[in-house]
Structure 1
Amino acid sequence: MFRRTFWFSTGVAAGVWATTKVNRKLKQLTPESLAVSAANKAIETGHRIKDRAVGFAVDVRDNMARREAELGEALGIHEDPELPAPRRYPAIENRTQHKTYVIDSTTYSPNRNEDH
């Protein structure tokens, strides 16, 4: 009698454990869960790539400055401390942004050309 009870309880415990594992795995394989995990991995990969790119850019700038100094010494060219630093222009110009107003669920814009 004790052996049957032991094996019965062992079977029940194994069934509960297996059912729990299967249900967890099924929840991981739903489309929503797969989309979330893919998005998280994409974000992590993007951060990793950005960190490596920033490190690479810093290394390039350091080596470029070092090489320019070496070439300046070799050619006898020294930087003039009185000259201002070169200007950096933005890659994309800031354009004036037009504000849009919503009044009574109708959109109004101060830019008359947007309607035509």
Structure 2
Amino acid sequence: MFRRTFWFTAGAAAGVWATTKVNRKLRQLTPESLAAQAADKALAAGHRIKDFALDVRDGMVQREAELGEVLGLNADPELPSPRRVAAIENSNDPKYSKNPTYVERSTYSYNRNEDH
């Protein structure tokens, strides 16, 4: 009698376990669950790609510093002095005077087709 009770209980437990497993798997295969899983995997892949890009950038900066040190490019060279901007107006030149009667005339006309 105990043997029958044991096997009945074991069968019932196995049935409950199998039913629970099947229901979980069915819930995982619904369209909403599949979409959520795909979104989670896409986010994880995005984070891995971002981490990879940051590692590559760090490696680039480190290698650039090493190359600059080896080639002597890291020394702070003295920058050339800034250029002075040429004056736009020349008060002695008649074309920049305030006299409106002056009209600049070209000595030749430019034809863009002559260059070909």
Compute the TM-score of the two structures, normalised by the length of structure 1: 0.59
Structure 1's 81 and 42: CA in aligned 2 closer, same or farther, altered over 3 A? farther
SS at match of 1:79: coil
What's 2:11 paired with? 11
What's 1:114 paired with? none
SS at match of 1:80: coil
State how far apart, in whole Å, the 2-side matches of 1:81 and 1:4 are: 96
RMSD of aligned Cα (Å): 2.3
1:10-51 deviation per Cα after TM superposition (whole angstroms, max 9, x unaligned): 211111110001001111111111111111111011111111
Aligned residues: 80
Compute the TM-score of the two structures, normalised by the length of structure 2: 0.59
Higher strand fraction (1 or 2):
1
Structure 1 residue ranges, 4+ long, deviating more than 4 angstroms after superposition: none
Shift, 1:81, TM fit: 5.8
Unaligned runs of 5+ residues in structure 2 are: 81-116
State how far apart, in whole Å, the 1-side matches of 2:14 and 2:78 are: 79
Structure 1's 36 and 12: CA in aligned 2 closer, same or farther, altered over 3 A? same
Unaligned runs of 5+ residues in structure 1 are: 84-116
* Larger radius of gyration between Structure 1 and Structure 2: 2
- Residue identity over aligned pairs, in percent, reads 56
Q: Which has the higher contact order (CA 8 A, sep 6+)?
A: 1
